[in-house]
Structure 1
Amino acid sequence: MPHPMVKIHRMFELVEPIGAITFSEVPNEAFLAIGMRNYWDGYFAGRAAPLGLAPPEVVHAVFYNFADGEVARHIPWVWGKTTPQEAIAVRERGSATALRQCIGELADTPGLVRAADLATRAAVSAPTVGRPLYAGLRALAVPAEPVARLWHAATLLREHRGDGHNTSLVAHGIGGTEAHVLLALSLGMRAEEFGRVHHLPRPQLDAVVDGLRARGLVTADGGFTDAGRQLRERIEALTDELAAPPYDTLTAGELDELIAVLEPIAAAVQATSD
């Protein structure tokens, strides 16, 4: 029997902070130490490394939600300073170090080992077809050390869901910048206040909002219409459905156990970022 979608979504909530620790200060410093100019150099080098020496057009397509030209400011420049293989190693070491620092004594508990084992079993079990970034990560060796293995599994599950989310956005006719605008509105923010797109030239961002307004998704004062809110709910519901396959390998009891052992770990990570 399929697992309830509420549990699949709960796994997203627990996996997200663990996988996203990759984008925190410790991994950033590690990338700066090998010659990256800034945070975004390290971001693109680390996250795109499983794709190999893919050109910026390919990385832009796979990552989906960056504005035109943003990827090209970093790729292929970063590959003149490091290699995908080194970037993968730097990312793993930095992320595992950051995770260990965040969770403290939990790093050396049987619960973490169990979480790493169950999450890894799920993370390496899903089909890769149509999932380019997940497929690239699946081709990498699974770390033996438990903290690194948990981070790696969380990253696999995170990017598997991300590939599916992009599919859902495409199916609903929502582009990358449009997706950020809809996310901002769901958080009660105006588009120009949202950190992921506030740096865009105001005319460019206004054009995106105007396009959503013309489709009946955004109100005149920049909020959600009912249709816009319903569209976002459909996108998220399909994303959850597409994120479910990795967990098919776990029994209901194992999924419940995984959620239980991940909860204090994810809470510890979130507490350090508040």
Structure 2
Amino acid sequence: MTGVITQSGADSTRQLDLTEEAVADAMARALWERYEPVHDLVYFAPEVYSAADALGMRGFWMGYFALRAAPLGAVAPAVVTSCFYVFHPARVARALPDAWAYAAPADVLAARQDALDAAMTALFGPDTVGSAEFAEAADLAWEAAAAADTAGRVLAAANQALERPDRPTARLWQGLTTLREHRGDAHVAVLVSQGIGPVEAMVLKAAAGESDGVFLRETRRWGQADWEAAGARLRERCLLGADGALTPAGAAVRAEVEALTDAAAEQPWTALGADRTARLAGLLDPLAHMVETSGLLPPGNPVGLTRSAYPADH
């Protein structure tokens, strides 16, 4: 299989010519780099904050866990801690199950659809979200998400099981979210297979320069002692040096984790096909650019996006 992913912006258009051997992995990463920022509106858009407040959620983190975990139903905090992987159990337990006393999961799901519709309309503009191209993107994303294999992927399966929204905004966001959790479930499985625990995963990400370590540690509510212990374990495995930088072995493990994650995220895109996947990437690119340059996303790159094209290439 061969294909081309086109990246376009205000100042330039680049084509990534993909070899037959690399096309599926490259498509998986290229699409993640485009759908992740759009998905992230659920965490950082003011319309979502307002919706969480209206539901009765007490603070950002209760809203975060309720909005993201709602497809699972009113499950115990331990289930969410396991699925989300990198959060300290106490961070989750401060939000759940208390959130379900303020709003049932079904009500949270309805509110997040409304909030994302409002957020996307405000950011992208009513002409964009009402366009034929936006509806096309929504349908392509939904089709890819519906084709995703969710065996062993709990968050992806829970999101995939939701009904198809009528509104293109909600349909696009939900399709992208299913794909995002599909990739995330695979990433967790890869980390487990490599013997990399939650804190070790964040230490490696920070050492690779992909995210700010202090931001990750504090927002996931791990203590400094937890962080230092994880670093010590990684040094024992010769993955970190004494200065906290990745060793060659650590860089190799980090690259292997990302490569295995990409490989495990291929299937929805092979099902959609190279040409239609490239089309979706092109449709998402300006939306991702608008999110990434909106000022909504916090500094520190908490999701670890590795694309460096924003804002320099746009």
TM-score scaled by length of structure 1: 0.94
The separation in 1 between residues aligned to 2:52 and 2:211, in whole angstroms, is: 32
Question: What residue number does 2:119 align with?
Answer: 98
Superposed displacement of residue 89, structure 1: 1.1
Q: CA RMSD in A?
A: 1.6
How far does the alpha carbon of each residue in 1:27-64 deviate from its partner, in whole angstroms, 9 at most, with x for none?
12210122111000001111111111111111111111
Change (3 A) 1:13 1:41: same
Q: Which has the higher helix share?
A: 1
Superposed displacement of residue 157, structure 1: 0.7
For residue 294 of structure 2, give the secondary structure of its aligned residue in structure 1.
Answer: helix
Q: Percent identity?
A: 38
Letter in 2 for 1:256: A
User: Is 1:11 paired with 2:31?
Assistant: yes
Change (3 A) 1:189 1:256: closer
Superposed displacement of residue 189, structure 1: 6.5
Whether the 8 Å contact between 1:99 and 1:151 is mirrored in structure 2 is no
How far does the alpha carbon of each residue in 1:150-203 deviate from its partner, in whole angstroms, 9 at most, with x for none?
111110110110001101111111111211111111126673x3x121353222
Give the alignment of 1:241-260 within 5 angstroms.
Answer: 241-260=263-282
Question: What residue number does 1:31 align with?
Answer: 52
Q: Which runs of 5+ in 2 are unaligned?
A: 2-19, 298-314
- 2:200 paired residue among 157, 178, 188: 178
User: Is 1:20 paired with 2:72?
Assistant: no
Letter in 1 for 2:274: A
TM-score scaled by length of structure 2: 0.83
| Structure 1 moving runs of 4+ over 2 Å | 1-4, 188-191, 198-201
User: Is 1:267 paired with 2:284?
Assistant: no
The separation in 2 between residues aligned to 1:269 and 1:176, in whole angstroms, is: 28
Superposed displacement of residue 85, structure 1: 0.5
Whether the 8 Å contact between 1:14 and 1:266 is mirrored in structure 2 is yes
For residue 127 of structure 1, give the secondary structure of its aligned residue in structure 2.
Answer: coil
Whether the 8 Å contact between 1:106 and 1:265 is mirrored in structure 2 is no
Question: What residue number does 2:309 align with?
Answer: none
For residue 216 of structure 2, give the secondary structure of its aligned residue in structure 1.
Answer: coil
Question: What residue number does 1:53 align with?
Answer: 74
Q: How many residues align?
A: 272
Letter in 2 for 1:239: T
Question: What residue number does 1:107 align with?
Answer: 129
Superposed displacement of residue 148, structure 1: 1.3
Letter in 1 for 2:73: G
Give the alignment of 1:233-244 within 5 angstroms.
Answer: 233-244=255-266
Change (3 A) 1:163 1:190: closer
How far does the alpha carbon of each residue in 1:59-108 deviate from its partner, in whole angstroms, 9 at most, with x for none?
11111111232211111111111111111111121122112222123222
Whether the 8 Å contact between 2:27 and 2:269 is mirrored in structure 1 is no
The separation in 2 between residues aligned to 1:190 and 1:214, in whole angstroms, is: 23
User: Is 1:84 paired with 2:84?
Assistant: no
The separation in 2 between residues aligned to 1:209 and 1:261, in whole angstroms, is: 41
Whether the 8 Å contact between 2:78 and 2:89 is mirrored in structure 1 is no
Whether the 8 Å contact between 2:148 and 2:179 is mirrored in structure 1 is no
Change (3 A) 1:61 1:189: closer
Question: What residue number does 1:148 align with?
Answer: 170
For residue 40 of structure 2, give the secondary structure of its aligned residue in structure 1.
Answer: helix
Superposed displacement of residue 123, structure 1: 0.7
